[in-house]
Amino acid sequence: MLKCLSNERDINRTLVLRLKKQEKQRELLIPLKKAINGGECRKQERERGRKMLFQVGGQGTRPTFFEMAAAQQLPASLRAALTYSLGVLALRRPILHKVLDYEDEFFALLNLVLEIHSLRTTDASFSESLYGLRRRSVRAKLKKDIQSDSAHRTYHSGLEKRQRVLSVIFLVVLPYVKSKLHSIYNKEREAALQASLWGPLDEGFSGADYLDGGGSFVPPDDSHAEVSSRSRFLRKTKKIIGACYPWIHAGHEGLIFAYQMLYLLDATGFYSIGLHVLGIQICRATGQELMDASSRISRIRSLERERLRGPPWLKKLLGGLLSGTYAVLDYAQTGLIAAVFIFKMMEWWYQSAEERISAPTIYPPPPPPPAPKVAKEGIPLPPDRTICPLCSQKRANPSVLTISGFVFCYACIFKYVSQYKRCPVTLIPAVLEDIRRLFHDM
């Protein structure tokens, strides 16, 4: 019995010692685990901060803020370059002035062709396709996962036909309307400024009676009344646009700024309100998507060639026209930018060459003309230049006689010229109009 009790005591002691050792080991491991967990948390915070702040490198298919900003600014920069190029060419080809007169319509038509072709072939706008970006439709669905709560999952697919049409409206039609409203606002502002400075302009006999050949008043007919009512309606419409446009422009720019800030801070996946309304997000195109797009384009074009009907020569002619159209559209994006770049480079080259050729030769200044000679019978000049040759006193109220350049007292030279009609030193004929008074700081 005593042996059994001693064995049990030994076992209990060993168990207690083991438990104490395990507790000590756990106490030693706790600071190490905290340090490891703290380091991991700091790393996650750094990564989150890098991702949120400016998104310089970008992650996955989400484009950076700078890519989106560059894609958005490209059409405006390209339009400014084309306008400048056409303005330079119009100096030698006056027919191009007609294009500049309808600048908004010309660029809207050009942009319409480019955007329709780009959205049809690449599911992206003209500028977005140059940066390797694509538009994808966003549909939110419930994500069912056993390990987590129900949440939203984003699925991306190609653009629908309705989204392509609305994208063209947002990319072409709305900017065209805004440019027209901006031009109307500028004209109304200039008219208001002119009216505030010079008063309202006369409206003439618009909507009033006018005189016939016999001098009697004749009331305007129905055509003149219709024209006057139409002009009044247009004038009122322009005034309303001039009053409302600043608020519309401020609201639009404010929404653009808000969406860009939210996109920059990774708070939303939509870069603009237009994309949010259409339910479209901009993503980077993958290699598989580029291959699928090229195969889809070739398939569509082969189907269009198969639809050609008619005699062999007509089918051949239409096929050649289609091939030429496809080639122009394929190379329109890079070709347009390359043409503007080449034009600007050639302009710089010829301008620098003309400056070198037509640079004016700088000659040394000519020597001053010789002083007029003193006549033998004239009054000699005193050795001191501050003394009047006529009165031999210090000059008072100095005046120059322009025909000779000599300076006298005003009273002396006035009396002498009035009496003798000549210069007292050179004896050159002079009149009172040749006397000029001199004013200088003492």
CATH assignment of the domain containing 437: 3.30.40.10
pLDDT tens for each residue of 271-328: 999 889 988 888 887 777 667 777 777 777 777 777 777 777 777 777 777 777 777 7
Is the dihedral angle over the CA atoms 17, 22, 28, 31 positive or is it negative? negative
Residue 202 to residues 206, 229, 436: CA-CA distances in angstroms?
10, 17, 49
d(CA 187, CA 321) in angstroms, rounded, equals 44
Same-domain check for residues 413 and 337: no
To which residue do tokens 């034009």 refer?
343
Among 65-79, 82-96, 286-300, name the most confident range. Answer: 65-79
Res. 257: pLDDT tops 90 = yes
Instruction: Specify if 226 maps to a domain.
Output: no
Residue 390 to residues 172, 182, 196, 429, 434: CA-CA distances in angstroms?
85, 74, 61, 17, 17
* pLDDT band with cut points at 50, 70 and 90 for residue 3: very low
Res. 359: pLDDT tops 50 = yes
The residue among 82 and 34 whose pLDDT is bigger is 82
With residue 280 as reference, give the H or E element that holds it: strand 280-284
Q: Of 157-171, 303-317, 364-378, give the lowest mean pLDDT range.
A: 303-317
Total domain count, the chain: 3
d(CA 153, CA 84) in angstroms, rounded, equals 48
Helix (H, G, I), strand (E, B) or coil at 335: helix
Distance, CA of 365 to chain centre: 46
Same-domain check for residues 437 and 414: yes
Instruction: Specify if 417 maps to a domain.
Output: yes
What is the model's pLDDT at position 150? 41
Instruction: Specify if 241 maps to a domain.
Output: no
Same-domain check for residues 256 and 126: yes
The residue among 113 and 16 whose pLDDT is bigger is 113
Q: What is the mean pLDDT of residues 336-363?
A: 68
Same-domain check for residues 70 and 48: no
Res. 74: pLDDT tops 80 = yes
What is the model's pLDDT at position 352? 64
Helix (H, G, I), strand (E, B) or coil at 133: strand
Same-domain check for residues 302 and 396: no
What is the model's pLDDT at position 258? 93
The residue among 418 and 222 whose pLDDT is bigger is 418
Same-domain check for residues 117 and 193: yes
Same-domain check for residues 35 and 119: no
Same-domain check for residues 77 and 133: yes
The residue among 248 and 307 whose pLDDT is bigger is 248
Residue 404 contacts residue 428 (beta carbons within 8 Å): yes
Instruction: Tell me the pTM.
Output: 0.55
Res. 170: pLDDT tops 90 = yes
Instruction: Specify if 211 maps to a domain.
Output: no
Residue 78 to residues 90, 113, 137, 173: CA-CA distances in angstroms?
18, 15, 28, 18
Instruction: Specify if 234 maps to a domain.
Output: no
How many Å is the Cα radius of gyration of the chain? 44
Based on the number of CB atoms within 10 Å of its own CB, is 9 exposed (0-12), middle (13-18) or buried (19 or more)?
exposed
Same-domain check for residues 15 and 107: no
Is the dihedral angle over the CA atoms 136, 141, 145, 150 positive or is it negative? positive
The string of DSSP letters for 186-254 reads: HHHHHHHHHHHHH-PPP-TTTTS-EE-TTS-EE---HHHHHHHHHHHHHHHHHHHHHHHHHHHHHHHHH
Q: What is the mean pLDDT of residues 415-431?
A: 91
User: DSSP assignment, residue 172?
Assistant: I
pLDDT tens for each residue of 20-57: 666 666 665 555 555 555 555 555 545 444 443 334 44
Instruction: Specify if 236 maps to a domain.
Output: no
Q: Considering only CA atoms, which of 410, 401, 406 is closest in space to residue 431?
A: 401
The residue among 119 and 345 whose pLDDT is bigger is 119
Q: Of 128-137, 204-213, 349-358, 394-403, give the lowest mean pLDDT range.
A: 204-213
Same-domain check for residues 95 and 180: yes
Same-domain check for residues 102 and 14: no
Residue 86 to residues 107, 112, 176: CA-CA distances in angstroms?
12, 19, 19
Same-domain check for residues 312 and 178: yes
| Listed residues 53, 73, 92: the one ending a domain | 53
Res. 238: pLDDT tops 70 = yes
Instruction: Specify if 209 maps to a domain.
Output: no
Query: How many Cβ atoms are within 10 Å of 381's Cβ, its own excluded?
Result: 13
Per the structure, the complete domain to which residue 183 belongs is given by 65-143+151-198+250-356
